[in-house]
Structure 1
Amino acid sequence: MSALTLHQNIAKFTPEDVAQLAQRLEKDEYNSPFEGLQDWHLLRAIAFQRQELAEPYLYLLDIETYDEA
């Protein structure tokens, strides 16, 4: 999927869509690790483009800020 297509799809996401995505990630019952990674990357993209939708599920991304000082 191209970056433009992904961006267009993310614009159409509803809170219910993101909740379903988060539920899949929480259950972690994928047929392959790549399926889980694909959902993880999708949630990450949503967090960057539509933070209000992903905010309740940021714990699934395990993103930490680092102090490089």
Structure 2
Amino acid sequence: MATLIMSQRNITMLTVEDVAELAGRLEQDDYNNAFEGLEDWHLLRAIAFQRPELAEPYLYLLDMEGYDEA
């Protein structure tokens, strides 16, 4: 299973289809090793912070919980 390694600059160039493909790999969880899955997870997380409109349908894959900083 191939993973995407993206620089911060390349995240701005991702399309809806690219993110859907990334999410599909994460849902299938069919990686050769745990590190490939972790790379995809970190990429989706970076997309969620930089391009939230693309990652919004897949936020459940990140299992991110809000917290109160007060």
TM-score, length-scaled by structure 1: 0.88
Identity rate of aligned residues, in percent?
Answer: 72
Can you list the C-alpha shifts for 1:3-47, whole angstroms capped at 9, x where unaligned? xx7111101100000000000000000000000000000000000
- Of structures 1 and 2, the one scoring higher in RCO (CA 8 A, sep 6+) is 2
The number of residues matched between the two structures is: 65
Comparing both structures, which one devotes a greater share of its residues to helix? 1
Shift of 1:65: 1.1
Shift of 1:68: 5.8
Shift of 1:67: 3.5
CA RMSD in angstroms comes to 1.3
Partner of 2:43: 42
TM-score, length-scaled by structure 2: 0.87
CA separation in 1, counterparts of 2:7 and 2:61?
20
Which stretches of structure 1, 4 residues or more, deviate above 3 A after TM superposition? none
Partner of 1:58: 59
Partner of 1:25: 26
